[in-house]
Every structure is written in C-alpha cells, then in structure tokens.
C-alpha cells in the first residue's frame, strides 16, 4: 500500500481541468472506444457474469463493487461505469424477475495520485445510482482490500508502462533507443526492452487484481494493440510520435532544448499484440480468458479537423511527460510547431487520413479456487 509511484519519466496523468488543452476536452478518440465497447460489455455481462457467485458470497448485504482503473478526469469513465451498471441491473432483472432487490453499487475511480480528481468530482453526473469513490495510486500495485471487487474495467490505460526501460536511454546499452522517442518496433533490442517492461507491468497488474477480485468476478480490459506483423513505426500513433520527435530535434538545433535532453527522452507506452497479451494472462494463471476480440475504432471526426484532433489528443496525453522532462517553457512552442509541421507535411498522413487504431477487447474471469 506504499506509494511506489514512478516520478521520473513514468506514466503521467492526462492534462487536468476542463480547459481547451484538458483531457476532458480532448478525449473523443477514447470516448469512441468506450462507445464501441458498450455492446461488447453488455454481452459479456449477460453471458459471463455469475451473479449467484458474487452476491451469495456469504455477507448479509449485497453491494456490487466496480472499479475503473486509469479513469482520468472524465467524462468517458462515467459512460463506461453507467454502461456496466445498466447491464448488471438488466441481468438482475432477467435472472431474478424482481424477486430479489437490486444490489447497491459502489464505484471506485482510480488513477495516479496526481490525477486531477477535483475535476473528476466536478464532472460527476449529478444524478447517479452508485456510491462514488476516488482511489489514488498506480494500478500496477495493490489498491483494494482482498476479494473486494466484482467487476474491473480499464480502457485506454494499460499501454502506459510504469517507467521507461532503463536500457533504452542508456547510451552504453545495445538497447539504446537513439533516433526515436518510442518503441518503433524496428530495433530488436529496443523492442525487447519495451516488451519486457510491459510483461513485468502486466504481471504486477494481474497479480494485484487477482487478490482484489472475488472468484468469478470479471475484468474487462481495452487497449490499443498492433495488428500482426505491423511495427509501431507504421501506425498512425507511431507516425505522429516520430513527427513529434523531429520537432524536438528541430528545437534542439534552434537551441531551444538541449540535444542530450532529446536523446534521453522516451515515452513509456507500448502496444503489444493480441497473442502476447494472451500469453501473459496464461502465464500469470489467475484468470481465464472468457473473450477476446480485436477491432478498429474509426475516428468520429470529419477529416478537415483531423490535424487539430491529432495535435490536441497527442498534447493532452503527452504534455505532462514533456513538461516533466523538458520543463514548462517548451510545451506551447513544441505543439504549435507540431501542428504547423503536420499541416505542411503531405507525406506523413494522407489527406483522407483518419486515425484508425486497432484495439483489443478482452474479458477475464477470476478463477475461483486458487488464491
């Protein structure tokens, strides 16, 4: 329960508040993901959630506890949570035909301790049928008491690593990631370092959740993945990040940031592919894969706004990390420059480009008999 928060170059929360650069205003791509998975979650709950398992666990009261991990400030998390509750109520209704009163719902919104929870509370739906809690801390460690959760949800968060792998910013290591700020997938040693970090982080994550989720409880995880055989460098996210890197390099040449600073900068996220994720779950051993599905999430916006969309989303997601590494001064300049380069550049993205990202939707069930 101690804070082992990564402070240096670890994953940082999205931009807080409700201003023009905030996550709350710049998360339409993630919102689309929540909408896309609405039906999938409904089906998973109707088909896979064993109610008797959960509510007859011996305690006199029947509270149903739901956690959303990596919730940011809203509003997406509120849609996700309401969707889960609606599906459970429907299932209750179908199963017990009114012979059993609905459980009370207790919802736990988790993110890093320095996430802007004040804004989350401000944006909470005023009329809601659940008890609200915010839980600060990294989901790579324990956050909840033993066997206290029935349903865990996490959307667009698990691809953030707990830290940048040491080797990739070590100029003496064969895994030194010179010439990039992400795991492009083109250099084996760099790929291995990132992949190891993701494997370790996921192992910690699953082991912590295994303690916290009751036997029979469900966990729905949604995060971006790479299509088979496609390296990150070829995806839209990869290309946007490479463009960001070239902007940083240009600013270094202009003397606005130090070249060493650019060389030692890496962004701690990693997109696995579906098989890699399944291997991790099986090796961990506490959960059964109940369902797994890959799908494309088409951007909801029209194409003339796309460049603005890319910049604003990239900024909402990376501004914290950039500030931490380079200082506050550079941020405005960097993203203005990025936006300009994006507009000028016909090569990176075609005119009809829409940022399609492939997502993995995976439903895990906590095995009942091994703690």
Ligand X SMILES: C[S@@+](CC[C@H](N)C(=O)[O-])C[C@H]1O[C@@H](n2cnc3c(N)ncnc32)[C@H](O)[C@@H]1O
Minimum distance, C-beta of residue 267 to ligand X, in the bound complex (Å) = 12
Among a second copy, ligand X, none, partner that 355 touches (CB below 5 to 8 angstroms by kind): none
Stretch that binds a second copy, among 38-46, 121-129, 172-180, 233-241 (CB under 8 A): 121-129
Interface with a second copy includes 7 (CB under 8 A)? Answer: no
> Which of a second copy, ligand X, none interacts with 213 (beta carbon under 5 to 8 A by kind)?
none
Q: Is residue 143 close enough to count as binding a second copy by CB under 8 A?
A: yes
Query: What H or E segment, with its residue span, contains residue 187?
Result: none
Q: According to the binding rule CB under 8 A, does residue 271 interact with a second copy?
A: no
Q: Checking phi first, is residue 9 left (phi over 0); if not, alpha (psi -120 to 50) or beta?
A: left
- Region binding a second copy by CB under 8 A among candidate stretches 25-33, 37-45, 104-112, 159-167: 104-112
Give the residue with the Cβ less far from ligand X, 226 or 357: 357
Q: How far apart are CA 344 and CA 212, in angstroms?
A: 50
User: Which of 7, 19, 93, 133: binder of a second copy (CB under 8 A)?
Assistant: 133
The site partner of 77 among ligand X, a second copy, none (C-beta below 5 to 8 Å per kind) is: ligand X
Closest CA to 223 of 187, 276, 183: 276
Please pick, from the candidates 39, 114, 275, 345, the single residue that binds a second copy as defined by CB under 8 A.
114
d(CA 298, CA 356): 5
Which residue from 50, 57, 239 is spatially nearest to 151, judged by alpha carbons? 50
Identified binder of a second copy from the candidate list 7, 129, 336, 343, rule CB under 8 A: 129
Q: Which of 196, 205, 199 is nearest to 287 (CA)?
A: 205
- Least distance in Å: CB of 126 to a second copy? 5
d(Cα 358, Cα 338) in Å, to the nearest integer? Answer: 24
Burial class (CB in 10 A: 0-12, 13-18, 19+), 35: middle
How far apart CA 286 and CA 118 sit, in angstroms, is: 35
Q: Closest-CB residue for ligand X? A: 70
SS3 call for 222: strand
Report the interface residues with a second copy, using CB under 8 A. 1-3, 57-61, 63, 104, 106, 108, 113-114, 116-118, 121-122, 124, 126-137, 142-148
């Amino acid at each position: 329960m101690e804070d082992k928060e990564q402070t240096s170059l670890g994953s940082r929360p999205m931009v807080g508040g409700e201003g023009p650069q905030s996550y709350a205003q710049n998360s339409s791509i993630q919102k689309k993901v929540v909408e896309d998975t609405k039906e999938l979650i409904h089906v998973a709950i109707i088909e896979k959630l064993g109610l008797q398992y959960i509510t007859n666990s011996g305690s006199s009261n029947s509270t149903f506890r739901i956690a959303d991990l990596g919730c940011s400030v809203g509003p997406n998390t509120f849609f996700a949570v309401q969707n889960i509750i609606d599906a459970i109520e429907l299932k209750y209704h179908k199963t017990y035909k009114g012979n059993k009163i609905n459980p009370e719902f207790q919802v736990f919104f988790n993110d890093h301790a320095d996430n802007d929870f004040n804004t989350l509370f401000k944006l909470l739906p005023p009329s809601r049928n659940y008890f609200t809690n915010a839980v600060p801390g990294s989901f790579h460690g324990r956050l909840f008491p033993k066997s206290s959760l029935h349903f865990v949800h996490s959307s667009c968060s698990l691809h953030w690593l707990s830290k940048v792998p040491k080797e990739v910013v070590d100029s003496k290591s064969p895994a030194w990631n010179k010439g990039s700020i992400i795991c492009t997938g083109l250099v084996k040693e760099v790929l291995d370092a990132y992949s190891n970090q993701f494997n370790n982080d996921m192992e910690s994550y699953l082991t912590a959740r295994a303690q916290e989720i009751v036997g029979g409880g469900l966990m729905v995880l949604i995060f971006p993945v790479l299509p088979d055989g496609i390296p990150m460098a070829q995806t839209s996210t990869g290309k946007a990040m490479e463009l960001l890197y070239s902007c940083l390099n240009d600013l270094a040449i202009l003397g606005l940031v130090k070249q060493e600073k650019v060389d030692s900068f890496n962004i701690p996220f990693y997109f696995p592919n579906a098989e890699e994720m399944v291997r991790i779950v099986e090796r961990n051993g506490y959960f059964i894969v109940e369902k797994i599905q890959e799908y494309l999430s088409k951007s909801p916006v029209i194409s003339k706004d796309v460049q603005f969309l890319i910049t604003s989303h990239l900024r909402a997601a990376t501004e914290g990390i950039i500030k931490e590494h380079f200082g506050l001064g550079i941020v405005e300049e960097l993203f203005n420059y990025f936006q300009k380069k994006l507009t000028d550049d016909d090569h990176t993205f075609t005119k009809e480009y829409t940022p399609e990202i492939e997502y993995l939707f995976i439903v895990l069930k906590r095995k009942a008999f091994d703690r």
